[in-house]
């Protein structure tokens, strides 16, 4: 779809439930992301949680993606596939998940540190989360998409880090990815105006090094080109007349 999906009252109720299931799943896997656990085990936990709460893991089967979570470790930015890999002390781990409930999709991500990570990595994680919070504060009807992009860029680059240019947030609703793209770099006052009752996935994806990427051999995983550590936080938000409601 090349225009905004305005949600009905029924769809808004579904979005809230979808988001609740997603947050529950993410809290569960974030708590379980310890040294020694395999990424496949985390994926199983998320899928079980989502299904037992009446949702569907929307990533699974999306363009053939094989899992319920994307788990992206260290230099991996997004779309890391869960498997036999065991988490180690020093890993910076992105846990990205999506839920569909009564036809409405939600999408969210947190990055956690396993054991001891470097001070610079701790700061990258903090700054990326702060960039997301700052962008969410920009959301209200008639704000422009570029207002969010500019705030993310300013927060991340102001701290000496970089946004991954090729990876963006997005609208969502009946589909996981819809209009508009929400770039992580850009200018305030540009881009489409955001209407009330739309759902947006806002997701700064950052790195210590440059903002360039390379594609991995598995056809999914995206790495930083220079091998530096990446972080990723994502909320699904609902635009409401008063401003914004964080859905997941």
CA distance 167 to 188: 19
State yes or no: residue 107 binds Co ion (CB under 5 A): yes
CB of 116 to Co ion, least distance (A): 29
Q: How many residues bind Co ion (CB under 5 A)?
A: 2
Q: In the complex with Co ion, which residue's Cβ is closer, 28 or 201? A: 201
CB of 59 to ligand MF3, least distance (A): 3
Q: In the complex with ligand MF3, which residue's Cβ is closer, 150 or 201? A: 201
Q: Which residues sit at the interface with ligand MF3, rule CB under 6 A?
A: 59, 62-63, 65, 70, 78-79, 96, 98, 107, 201
Write out the E strands in the chain: 56-57, 69-73, 76-78, 92-101, 104-113, 162-163, 169-172, 178-182, 199-202, 205-207, 213-215, 222-224, 230-232, 235-240, 243-246
For residues 98, 154, 30, 68, the Cα torsion angle rounded to the nearest 10 degrees is 20
Q: In the complex with ligand MF3, which residue's Cβ is closer, 181 or 188? A: 181
Cα of 197 vs its chain's centroid, Å: 20
Q: In the complex with Co ion, which residue's Cβ is closer, 42 or 201? A: 201
State yes or no: residue 248 binds Co ion (CB under 5 A): no
CB of 89 to ligand MF3, least distance (A): 26
Burial of 101 (0-12, 13-18, 19+ CB in 10 A): buried
Binding range to Co ion, per CB under 5 A, among 34-42, 68-76, 200-208, 222-230: 200-208
Q: How many residues does the chain have?
A: 248
State yes or no: residue 201 binds Co ion (CB under 5 A): yes
Radius of gyration over alpha carbons of the chain, in Å? 17
Q: Which does 96 bind (CB under 5 to 8 A by kind): Co ion, ligand MF3, none?
A: ligand MF3
CB of 194 to Co ion, least distance (A): 16
CB of 118 to ligand MF3, least distance (A): 26
Burial of 154 (0-12, 13-18, 19+ CB in 10 A): middle
Q: In the complex with ligand MF3, which residue's Cβ is closer, 122 or 199? A: 199
Q: Which residues bind Co ion (CB under 5 A)?
A: 107, 201
């Amino acid at each position: 779809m090349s225009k905004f999906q305005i949600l009905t009252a029924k769809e808004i109720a579904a979005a809230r439930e979808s988001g609740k299931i997603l947050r529950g799943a993410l809290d569960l896997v974030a708590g379980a992301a310890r040294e020694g656990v395999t990424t496949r085990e985390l994926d199983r936990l998320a899928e079980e949680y989502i299904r037992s709460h009446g949702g569907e893991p929307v990533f699974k089967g999306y363009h053939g993606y094989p899992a319920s979570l994307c788990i992206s470790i260290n230099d991996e930015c997004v779309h890391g596939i869960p498997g036999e890999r065991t988490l180690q002390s020093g890993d910076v781990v992105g846990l990205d998940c999506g839920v569909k409930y009564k036809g409405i999709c939600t999408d969210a991500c947190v990055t956690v540190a396993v054991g001891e990570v470097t001070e610079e990595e701790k700061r990258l994680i903090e700054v990326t989360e702060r960039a997301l919070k700052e962008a969410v504060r920009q959301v209200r009807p008639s704000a422009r998409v570029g207002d969010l992009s500019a705030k993310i860029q300013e927060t991340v680059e102001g701290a000496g880090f970089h946004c991954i240019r090729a990876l963006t947030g997005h609208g969502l609703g009946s589909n996981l990815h819809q209009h508009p793209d929400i770039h992580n770099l850009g200018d305030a006052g540009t881009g489409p105006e955001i209407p009330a009752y739309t759902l947006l996935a806002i997701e700064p994806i950052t790195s210590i090094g440059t903002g360039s990427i390379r594609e991995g051999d598995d056809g999914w995983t995206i790495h930083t080109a220079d091998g530096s550590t990446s972080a990723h936080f994502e909320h699904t938000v609902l635009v409401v007349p008063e401003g914004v409601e964080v859905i997941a």
